[in-house]
Amino acid sequence: MISTSDVQNIRFNDSDPRQPRSVNLYFDHYKGEPVYRTVVYLANSGCEWSRKTGGCTMCGTKNSASQKAISDDEFFAQLDIVRQYVNKFNASLKSPVKTLHIYNDGFFFNDAEISQKVREVIYDLARSLKMEKLVVETNGLDIIRDNKTNDYLGKAVKLLGDTEFEITLGIESTNPLVRALYSKPDSVEDVKNSMETIRRKGAISKGYVLVKGPLLTEAEAYEDCVNTIRTLQQWSNGKRFRVEFQPVCLLPNTLHEYLMTLDHKDPYYWEPPLLSTLFRILHNFPTMGEDLYSALFAKTDEDSPWEFWQARPHDDRETTYKIYLKLVDYYLYRKFDSIESAFKLFNEELWKERKARVAPHSIEERVGVVKKLITLSRKRNLNLSDYLKTHLRIDGNFIDSCLKHIAQVSPE
């Protein structure tokens, strides 16, 4: 029996490269039943894209990246701690942890971020802890490059044997314009090819799909998320694919962090998607079951989306909480009934009001502005959000203000 009250978040010293940032005990759904999973955030030196360009506009991994590379010995020390904690969890649980998620906030197969020796220790860890599945994160660029060079992915599948290997790609959207708003490093073609490569090499292909990144309205975000999942379905052509869709979290040094400081009447003011929007997305895919879910932990988790929704209830607090529990129920059992019954709780007026909000500029115009702002912020060696905080004067709505600013500083 899995209990959500078993959730644990063990945090370590962020400044010590010999300690992971955190080791967490969460729950999940695997092969038709609720299970425990351990999610590890390793201390890391950040993703290549983030180091070179400041990263994707909605990504906050740069905030926790170490300024220097993490050595193999330091990673080994972190992984020893992970082993101790998984053993400790298992000693107190009625059912052992079945899946291990090891995240290095970057490109898992990139030697500049994590070496093959360390990867092999991770595979050994998963096998010796009798994990049924190991989950890592990366990006299309990494898979394409690995396929042409080292084939670390193919080697990993062999080394892992019976332990499934799930590769999670930060897809976010399959719409090139939305991806450009987020400043993703890989092309839509890269994403499509990497999903195929992952499957061909015997691993499980999963994509993160983002719900309501910066500069999208609620209606656009809903439509983009549903279209993205449909596109992934088409690309997969009957083969298995998994989707974890994620409402964007408020993180420092991101574009949406800046957009939250705008006047609430500004059409580009950012606020999280409605909790009910997540159900509306799920409702479009009645047959995906275990392979479609929204990122969710438990109400006892201080990082949990419940804290996120609680701080910004879209409805009265009690209703928000009831809807949230339906999401927990769906997360544990993946029964479509939990989605359908949640619909009875929604405040339709809120959804209508959010859906009615429109952005006065086309997505193409918004993309053009984001690209120019990124160039300007890079010239000054600033994060995009810091650039906006220090250089932009709001005069009208956000995009119009940016257009005026761009015309003043780079009038071509």
Contacts with ligand SF4 by CB under 6 A: the residue count is 12
CB of 62 to ligand SF4, least distance (A): 7
Number of Cβ within a 10 Å radius of residue 352: 9
Binding flag, residue 140, ligand SF4 (CB under 6 A): no
Q: Tokens in use for 1?
A: 């029996």
CB of 304 to ligand SF4, least distance (A): 21
Binding flag, residue 190, ligand SF4 (CB under 6 A): no
How far from chain centre, in Å, is Cα 58? Answer: 10
Number of Cβ within a 10 Å radius of residue 162: 8
| Phi, psi angles (nearest 5°) of residue 262 | -75, 165
**Of residues 221 and 406, the one with the C-beta less far from ligand SF4:** 221
CA distance 278 to 243: 13
How far are the Cα atoms of 20, 24, 81, 135, 229 from residue 15, in angstroms, in the given order?
Answer: 10, 18, 16, 25, 38
* Site mask for ligand SF4 (CB under 6 A), range 146-175, x = bound: ------------------------x-----
Binding flag, residue 47, ligand SF4 (CB under 6 A): yes
**Of residues 47 and 136, the one with the C-beta less far from ligand SF4:** 47
Parallel/antiparallel/unpaired status of strands 164-172 and 292-294: unpaired
Binding test (CB under 6 A) with ligand SF4, winner from 17, 20, 106, 213: 106
CB of 137 to ligand SF4, least distance (A): 8
CA distance 345 to 354: 17
Binding test (CB under 6 A) with ligand SF4, winner from 61, 99, 147, 173: 61
Element (H, E) at 74: helix 72-92
CB of 391 to ligand SF4, least distance (A): 22
Binding test (CB under 6 A) with ligand SF4, winner from 19, 22, 50, 173: 50
Name the segment binding ligand SF4 (CB under 6 A); options: 52-60, 307-315, 316-324, 368-376.
Answer: 52-60
Q: What strands lie across the sheet with 164-172, from one edge to the other?
A: 8-11, 22-30, 33-41, 97-103, 133-138, 164-172, 204-211, 242-247, 292-294
Chain residues that interact with ligand SF4, rule: CB under 6 A: 47, 49-50, 55-56, 59, 61, 105-106, 139, 170, 185
